[in-house]
Structure 1
Amino acid sequence: MIDLTPLDVKKKKGDFRRVVRGYDPAAVDDFLETVSARMEELVREGMTLNARVEGMTDAMSAYRDRERAMNEALVSAQQLREEMREQAAREADLVLREARAEAERIVGEARRQATQAVEALRRIQGQRVRFLRIFRTLLERQQHELDQEEERTPHLGRGDDFDDPDAQAG
């Protein structure tokens, strides 16, 4: 395609030869002037459109940059959310494991203490039974000795005489 400017069209009118039966030179000049003016309008309009396209291209580029940044921020936020969820799950799992371990420790300690208490109670009950047996045996032995003493000295009686002053004088 040939580059043609409005100035080229204006200069062209002097390049045409005049012929006898040719076009009316004034009409050709008017037409060339109209074409030149229209070309100037089209060039200005093209420049305006190019400037608008360039502005829109810049705006589109800026929007794409923003979109890319927003997408990156969204991806980062999603990754952060996922990491936080995973961290929270790990922490919850750790707390749960620690709580279970502590509960097992407490239950184990309680069982140990209960076992010790039962054993202590059994020891005490055994000691009580032994004490009662020993005490009963001791009492029975003392009772037997008292019975024997009464049989050896029947004239003294059971000691009721000690309360009566007349009985002691005789």
Structure 2
Amino acid sequence: MPLTPLDIHNKEFSRSFRGYDEDDVNEFLDQVIKDYEALIRENKDLQSQLVVLQERLDHFANIEETLSKTIIVAQEAADEVKNNSKKEAQLIIKEAEKNADRIINESISKSRKIAMEIEELKKQASIYRTRFRTLLEAQLELLSKEDWSSLERVTIEENQ
């Protein structure tokens, strides 16, 4: 057990013939007590400061650990967002490609249908022209026949 200032103060020395001067010893002991008390107070102050500093160090270590974990979580979240964005972009591209293929196929189909309709209309126009020409030729032929002139005379005579 360490020596206390009270132990020093209460220390009694045995008397001997031709010993030390009692006043000098007491004065010296008083000085030792004062210095020892000052050292004890300083030691207590330093221990208190050490406790405070240790608490602060623990606090900062805690903050450091929390920040480290936060950075790791943020990095993982960023990686996850990046991966999800890549997946979403790939899905959007695939969907766009499907839509483009569908639109192209529909356009080709419509184009073929329109081309077939054009061919059908050309055929119908040709048939119509041929029929019209035949009709006109038949009408011209009818008009050029002599029966028409005789009909014309008969009609005029009947009206008179």
Distance 2:13 2:45 in 1: 32
Please, which moves more after superposition, 88-97 or 113-122? 88-97
Seen in structure 2, the aligned counterparts of structure 1 residues 9 and 130 have a Cα distance that, compared at 3 Å, is: same
Which structure exhibits the higher relative contact order, with contacts defined as CA atoms closer than 8 Å and separated by 6 or more residues?
A: 2
Question: 1:11 corresponds to which residue?
Answer: 10
The alpha-carbon deviation at position 18 of structure 1 amounts to: 3.1
- Which deviates the most, 137-146 or 60-69? 137-146
Percent same amino acid among aligned pairs?
A: 26
TM alignment of 1:110-149, pairs within 5 A? 110-144=107-141, 146-147=143-144, 149=145
Relative to structure 1, the CA distance from residue 25 to residue 155 in structure 2 (aligned partners, 3 Å threshold; closer, same or farther) is: closer
Q: Normalization by structure 1: what TM-score?
A: 0.77
Change (3 A) 1:154 1:27: closer
- TM-score normalised to structure 2 length: 0.81
Pairing 1:156–2:150 present:
yes
- In structure 1, what is the Cα distance between the partners aligned to 2:51 and 2:148? 144
Does residue 43 of the first structure (1) align with residue 40 of the second (2)? yes
CA contact (8 A) 2:142 2:148 kept: no
Coordinate RMSD, CA, aligned: 2.7
Q: Which blocks of at least 5 consecutive residues in structure 2 are unaligned?
A: none
Between 1:120-129 and 1:66-75, the stretch displaced more is 66-75
Asked if residue 102 in structure 1 is aligned to residue 96 in structure 2, the reply is: no
